[in-house]
Amino acid sequence: MTSAPPEAPERHRAPALWLVVLALAVATLVTVLVEARTGVVLLAVTLVGAAIARLVGRGRRPEGIAVRSTWVDVTILLVLALGILLLVRTPGV
């Protein structure tokens, strides 16, 4: 009697999550090495890109970005991007 080998756990790949992490790392490096305003704009662009990806990928897609319902995720990401862009345009901040 031979038993079947145990199945390996299913691996989830989340390319959207890794792209967001890479974009955040690039924005951080640009902030430190180039200029803070440029890095903050890159951060806001990353948030807008994540919102668009979440809007296009309905349901549980894209993995790693989808947390709540589609509209809640998109609204939160866009409000954060808008807030960051408003702060970067505010004099003295």
For 46-80, how does the pLDDT look when each residue is reduced to its tens digit (9 = 90+)? 999 989 888 887 767 777 777 788 889 899 999 99
Does residue 55 lie in a domain region? yes
Say if 39 falls within a structural domain.
yes
1 is a domain residue = no
Q: Does residue 10 lie within any of the structural domains? A: no
Q: Is 24 within a domain?
A: yes
Dump pLDDT digits (tens) for 22-37: 998 999 999 999 998 9
Is 90 exceeded by the pLDDT of residue 82? yes
Distance (Å, rounded) from C-alpha 44 to C-alpha 41?
5
- What distance lies between CA 41 and its chain's CA centroid? 14
Q: How many domains does the chain have?
A: 1
Q: Which domain holds residue 55?
A: 15-89
Please tell me the distance from the alpha carbon of residue 64 to that of residue 67, in angstroms, as a whole number. Answer: 7
Return the pLDDT at 61: 72
